[in-house]
Amino acid sequence: MLKNRFETIFFDADDTLWENEMFFRQAEEKFAELLADYTDREGLQQLLWQKQEDNIPLFGYGSKTYMIGMTDAALELCGGKLPEHIYYGVKKIITDLAFHEFKLIDGVQETLEALSGHYRLVVATKGDVTEQMFKYRRSGLDRYFHHCEVMENKDEKNYLELAAKNDLQPEQLLMVGNSVKSDIAPVINVGGWAINTPHDVVWVHEMMDMPESDRILIVQNVKEIVRFLL
């Protein structure tokens, strides 16, 4: 189905090439402990998610926006005045998040090694440019990729722009990623192909049902894609 059909393969980054969401969940746990005197864990989680949704259209994706969301949530819970220990607590949580232990997804390096001699590989991620490029270079995977695209968002318009920028027709897009909302559905909607590599931790913002299409391949580990492409 996929062999000899494509020249370029696009890979999502966070939770496809390396672990990401698990560290945000750990940050949320620390945030809940920090605000334990002000609200229960469930109420805090819902408030934080709402603040994140409010801030993403203004500030985009990434840990900086997460810090703004945490600060907004804490400010609301603290009655409009942020105690010093809460402010510095939030700042430490976000600093730890930005410089967390780096961990590649199992099988990624072997997969890229196998594919890189046969395809033009490109990272297609979204978020803060500085933050995403820092992770890309830190990963050590840049030797396998032609380049890294940091997209404004991952909707149909952005994928059409990605195709044009890489001299491809939409039907020549092949996207590998864990997020149905960002990596699969919009690519299918513009006529491209997608390989879903599910991750056991999913950001609530990215949750949606898998669309029905014969242009979607679902694998349980990224290593499995090699037998479909080589």
Q: What is the pLDDT of residues 119-128, one digit of tens each?
A: 999 999 988 8
**pLDDT over 80 at 191, yes or no:** yes
Confidence band (pLDDT; 50, 70, 90) for 206? Answer: low
Could you tell me the residue ranges of all domains in the chain?
8-18+103-229, 21-98
The amino acid sitting at 9 is I
Alpha carbon distance 120, 8 (integer Å): 5
Alpha-carbon distances, residue 72 vs 47, 64, 69, 93 (angstroms): 9, 12, 5, 15
Of 66, 176, 65, the C-alpha closest to 121 is 176
The answer to whether the Cα torsion of 156, 160, 165, 171 is positive or negative is: positive
**pLDDT over 80 at 204, yes or no:** no
Mean pLDDT of 64-92: 87
User: Which of 39-43, 121-125, 132-136, 183-187 is the least confident region?
Assistant: 39-43
Of 168, 172, 188, the C-alpha closest to 180 is 188
pLDDT at position 43: 82
**pLDDT over 70 at 9, yes or no:** yes
User: Which of 33-42, 60-69, 156-165, 203-212 is the least confident region?
Assistant: 203-212
Alpha carbon distance 28, 181 (integer Å): 22
**pLDDT over 80 at 50, yes or no:** yes
pTM: 0.84
pLDDT at position 144: 97
Q: Which fold has domain 8-18+103-229?
A: Rossmann fold (3.40.50)
Of the options 3.40.50.880, 1.10.150.240, 3.40.1400.10, 1.10.8.60, the CATH number for the domain spanning 21-98: 1.10.150.240
Of 64, 187, 215, the C-alpha closest to 130 is 64
Confidence band (pLDDT; 50, 70, 90) for 201? Answer: low
Tens digit of pLDDT for each residue in 152-171?
889 999 999 999 999 999 99
Give the number of other Cβ atoms within 10 Å of residue 126's Cβ: 23
The amino acid sitting at 152 is E
User: Which of 11-15, 65-69, 89-93 is the least confident region?
Assistant: 65-69
